[in-house]
Structure 1
Amino acid sequence: MSLDAAATKPHEQLATALADDLSAVNDMIRARMASEHAPRIPEVTAHLIEAGGKRLRPMLTLAAARMCGYDGPYHVHLAATVEFIHTATLLHDDVVDESKQRRGRPTANLLWDNTSSVLVGDYLFARSFQLMVETGSMRVLDILANASATIAEGEVLQLTAAADLATTEDIYLKVVRGKTAALFSAAMEVGGVIAGQDDTTVQALFDYGDALGIAFQIVDDLLDYGGTKAIGKNTGDDFRERKLTLPVIRAVAAADADERAFWERAIAKGRQEEGDLEHAMGLLSKHGTMESTRIDAIGWADKAKTSLDVIPDHPIKAMLVDLADYVVARIT
């Protein structure tokens, strides 16, 4: 089941509750992605930003700020910052992965070229730092600068771990924390910081984002081995790209000699043949790694919900709790 196919959609409830703020964020994004001298920048940026993404990460910043009673203007800057960082990483990722499709549309690197995608991604990173500086908060700058570095670190770690059958679950978690959870947690954390919340509350917001991001990525990795996603990827993309995700890491650990030889050929050496994806899925099923990974994802979603226990009751809090359930509803 895709995100859009679920019976209830907490991200849409959040979007409705935060409609005015989201409108202001969209206005700021359009204004700041403009370029007087390089028209290709808004062309490439608009192709991705206006492709129907759910704005989940900036919504987390707006939600945290609203839940914490913030009434100033800078949550909009921070939400736009988070979206720019996210978009920059997507542009770079599609080049690294040689992707041809994102959110059901051709990727920017396919429509233009790799050079444009990389350079426009660089521009968006620069714009994101301009936006966060405008808040005047060194703590906010520290959080988002660290998150940007962590994201890049996670991508490099994934690059070095790809096709390496020695990749452990600990390494996988480091990759996920880097490439996905770091921006979820920073998006939540800065919402609390800009609202002047105490350290306990800010830590709770960070913990929610961290656990939600991990659950989100684990679910995404699970869906790659079964089910069509609304985000434009095809079943088996991770297998074809020889990525060691959690279900595969566990299947490799449980493999007998013949199975190990299969993983060596298909993943480590990249000599993939027709029927290999189906065989790989059969091994995941045989060793129960899809089910054990699903249980892990639900556990992280539960941790996200528990993290909010220290936050006073608030309509936004209830939506964030529902969002954690919703992320894993795709695999339950």
Structure 2
Amino acid sequence: MNINHLRYFIEVLRRGSIGGAAQDLGITQSALTRSLQKLEQELGCELLERDRRGARPTPFGETFLDHARSIIAELDRGVEALKLMQGLSDAQVKIGVSPNFLNWIVPDAVAAMVERYPGINCRVSTATLEDLTIQLKRCEIDLAFCQSYLPMQVKRGRADPDIKFETLMRARSRAYAPAAHPLASTGRRSLADVAASRWVVPYQLSLSYRFEDAFIRRELKVPVQSINSASIQFCKASARRLGLLLLIPEHLMRDEQSAGDMVALDIPELEFEHDVGLLTRKMRNTPPAVRSLSDVFRQLCLGEPHSQEAPQDRAKCMRETSLCMRFSHQVAWPMVQRGDLI
């Protein structure tokens, strides 16, 4: 089987048309069509449906697509492993990152890899947990540094057999107020104290429905979430500009706290912990670059303050998260359908 036939097949479905794929591949439409026909003849079935709207996979094509991607990805990883062993300049490792971790841990990990392998190319991209999982399954990234895989397990109803999550540390989210906010003074606050306030809550880490769940469990009215966004920077800027309370991971607020712009609120019911670690495919042979990068992440996470919790604390967090997930099925499911739960 000609490996280019597989690459062309994948590209056609990515673009949704033979003309667009031919343009991207730098070949003629007739040459691309012949390649696809040869692949179909070799497999003994039709892989594509072609009409004026473009090209779509047949049931055979849809089944074969994941296997084709895996074949290409394994070949590319083998080539990259050999390049890395030879010290060639174009070896590459593809890293997916949750947006809220892009400026934490990841820059140090990439810097360590570049120092260790001067010729390596680290390709870093951001995506939601759901999209990172899809990209891993499609072999578009080699690993992801992100929050716990548990929300995706709940959403799918089972653990994905092709994906594994390795917990490296814990991160904590809590409430913050702009320095000029009436609630910014020191002292413990109750949920009732902040129920009438307006909030900014990111979509990341399932914070929106965990936030709602905290109030509902105590039979309090859920506060107005004036802003929800997948952009952490937008959430922080909005809270400061509009004088709103903010629920966000602690590690993202260090600069604002140091500058005195934002104040951490002591509200134990709104302190949520999350497992953070590596999301990878289950592979028989892990490429050297991926193994090396995984080790770098493990070493860096050991230096963080929440990397060494006792097992009972971790079990307690997982139980609380699981209870929250079960309870919020009715509350959060509309968000899942809209794609907001990440």
TM-score normalised per structure 1:
0.24
Q: Is the radius of gyration larger for structure 1 or structure 2? A: 2
TM-score normalised per structure 2:
0.23
Q: Which has the higher contact order (CA 8 A, sep 6+)?
A: 1
